[in-house]
């Protein structure tokens, strides 16, 4: 079955990119790109965030897609299985993945391990992007042991998604070099 593309974009005035307006942003201006809300500016807002949602439940995938596209300006693609995700990741690059854990054929854990495997057909750029567990299961160590970088519970809530995106991108962002101050 082909991947379902679900996208909805909000255009910021004075900017060719899509991005959300957030409750913490009082006005939308050209400077809104750099001052969205705490942490969200670190989401590389200057380019559209391509997000792959892997979920065998079309309804929960669409719910997450709606939150990511309308609230955060992500360009989302939904696939319904681990196998479909691996195929998509072998042909197209993404910035982040939301991975269901309990799926038939390949679980989210198995799919994550295959994404990171050196002998997989996944494009090299896709092997190093954040993968967030998207599941009804409680957060478990096995998600992180498989190489996932975060966890969001179902059904997705905007604030929960925001907090996890901010945390994951904050941790993925390189630290600034220490300032060199010379004192006499």
- Per-residue pLDDT tens digits for 20-55: 322 222 222 333 222 233 334 444 433 579 999 999
Residue 183 lies in a domain: no
Residue 58 lies in a domain: yes
pLDDT beyond 50 at 118: yes
The C-alpha atoms of residue 87 and residue 79 are separated, in whole angstroms, by 10
- What pLDDT, on the 0 to 100 scale, is given for residue 177? 52
Q: Are 29 and 54 in contact (CB under 8 A)?
A: no
pTM for this prediction? 0.71
Mean of the per-residue pLDDT values of the chain: 76
Of 119, 136, 115, 138, whose CA–CA distance to 52 is shortest? 115
Residue 8 lies in a domain: no
What CATH number corresponds to the domain at position 123? Answer: 3.40.50.2300
Residue 6 lies in a domain: no
The count of structural domains within the chain is: 1
Residue 15 lies in a domain: no
- What pLDDT, on the 0 to 100 scale, is given for residue 90? 97
pLDDT beyond 60 at 78: yes
The C-alpha atoms of residue 17 and residue 36 are separated, in whole angstroms, by 14
Pairing relationship of beta strands 131-135 and 75-79 according to DSSP bridges = unpaired
Residue 167 lies in a domain: yes
Cβ-proximal residues to 11 (8 Å cutoff; 6+ apart), any chain: 17, 18
DSSP letter assigned to residue 98? E
Residue 178 lies in a domain: no
- Domain encompassing residue 152: 50-172
Q: What six digits make up the tokens of 82? A: 């681990």
The tally of CA atoms less than 13 A away on the side-chain side of residue 13 is 5
The percentage of residues in the chain with a pLDDT greater than 90, rounded to a whole number, is 59
Of the two residues 179 and 27, the one the predictor is more confident about is 179
Residue 182 lies in a domain: no
């Amino acid at each position: 079955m082909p991947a379902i593309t679900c996208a909805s974009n909000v255009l910021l005035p004075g900017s060719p990119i899509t991005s959300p307006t957030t409750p913490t942003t009082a006005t939308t201006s050209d400077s809104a790109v750099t001052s969205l809300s705490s942490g969200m500016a670190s989401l590389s807002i200057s380019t559209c965030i391509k997000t792959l949602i892997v979920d065998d439940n079309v309804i929960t995938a669409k719910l997450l897609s709606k939150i990511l596209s309308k609230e955060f300006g992500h360009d989302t693609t939904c696939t319904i299985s681990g196998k479909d995700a691996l195929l998509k990741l072998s042909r197209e690059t993404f910035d982040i993945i939301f991975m269901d854990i309990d799926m038939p054929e390949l679980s989210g854990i198995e799919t994550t391990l295959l994404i990171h495997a050196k002998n997989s057909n996944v494009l090299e750029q896709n092997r190093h992007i954040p993968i967030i567990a998207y599941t009804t299961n409680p957060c478990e160590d096995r998600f992180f042991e498989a190489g996932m970088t975060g966890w969001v519970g179902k059904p997705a809530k905007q604030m929960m998604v925001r907090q996890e995106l901010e945390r994951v991108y904050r941790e993925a962002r390189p630290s600034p070099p220490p300032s060199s101050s010379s004192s006499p």
